[in-house]
């Protein structure tokens, strides 16, 4: 099982623009047959800091997600409003 | 619902020391009546980078967790082996 934390930092003035893009990305990703969990959160201290917590069976499933039509269409539209480079962590279960 | 990501960065030579401390912390925290989720992961690129993903009903429940005997006993023992300051993010559900 692969757990992922992906973090985006969006310019304050663009939060209203990315909101429907994020909602569509979450909705369509949850329909992917291999998606085990795909939840989006915001930092209580920074409304432009968006945090995905994702669960996939393995790396191949994550790669398939990144190749979907919705990912390839929506992520560049979101990324156009980043105020700094996003980060991601691929994680193994420890306990 | 409050989601938390808490990250620790442990010195490589101390991973064997903190492992049973983390396991005890996870086991005892999951028994707390208000704990909705408490999972610990490691970064695939950095075995000293430990990531908690926590779910609590609210901030008061998190504060109760931080005041438990197990938290107050185990966390300082773990923190003695940090290689850099830990971080945490308190998050709201977005989607």
List, for residues A49-60, the tens digit of each pLDDT value.
Answer: 999 999 999 999
Sign of CA dihedral B37, A40, B8, B73: negative
Confidence of residue B11 (pLDDT cuts 50, 70, 90): very high
B20-58 pLDDT, tens digit each: 999 999 999 999 999 999 999 999 999 999 999 999 999
> Tokens 């990324």, residue?
A79
How far apart, in whole angstroms, are the C-alpha atoms of residue A28 and residue A10?
21
Average pLDDT, chain A: 98
Q: Which of B29, B89, B90, B93 to mutate to test the interface with A (most CBs of A within 10 A)?
A: B89
A42 to chain B, closest Cα gap in Å: 5
B26 to chain A, closest Cα gap in Å: 7
Q: What is the dihedral of CA B23, B37, B30, B65, to 10 degrees?
A: 100
How far apart, in whole angstroms, are the C-alpha atoms of residue A87 and residue A5?
8
Q: How many CB pairs under 8 A join A and B?
A: 72
A89 vs B contacts (CB less than 8 Å)? 43-45, 49, 51
Segment 30-49 of chain B within 8 Å of chain A by CB: 39-45, 49
Sign of CA dihedral B79, B84, B90, B95: negative
The answer to whether B91 contacts A5, with C-beta atoms less than 8 Å apart, is no
The domains found in chain B, sorted by start residue, are 2-91 (3.30.70.100)
Encoded tokens for A53: 């917590």
- B3: closest chain A residue by CA: A41
Encoded tokens for B24: 């005890």
B5 vs A contacts (CB less than 8 Å)? 5, 51, 53
A79 to chain B, closest Cα gap in Å: 18
How far apart, in whole angstroms, are the C-alpha atoms of residue B42 and residue B8?
10
| Average pLDDT of the segment spanning B63-90 | 98
Buried b (16+ CB within 10 A) or exposed e, A13-48: eeeeebeebbeebbebbeebeebeebbbbbbeeeeb
CB A80 within 8 A of CB B32: no
Cβ-based neighbours of B7, under 8 Å, separated by 6 or more = B49, B50, B51, B52, B86, B87, B88
Q: Does the complex come out with an ipTM higher than 0.85? A: yes
């Amino acid at each position: 099982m692969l757990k992922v934390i992906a973090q985006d930092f969006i310019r304050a003035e663009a939060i209203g623009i990315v909101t429907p893009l994020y909602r569509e990305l979450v909705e369509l990703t949850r329909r992917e047959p291999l998606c085990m969990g795909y939840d989006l959160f915001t930092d209580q201290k920074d409304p432009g800091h968006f945090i995905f917590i994702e669960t996939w069976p393995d790396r191949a499933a994550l790669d398939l997600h990144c190749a979907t039509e919705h990912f390839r269409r929506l992520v560049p539209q979101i990324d156009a409003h980043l105020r700094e480079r996003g980060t991601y962590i691929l994680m193994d279960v420890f306990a």
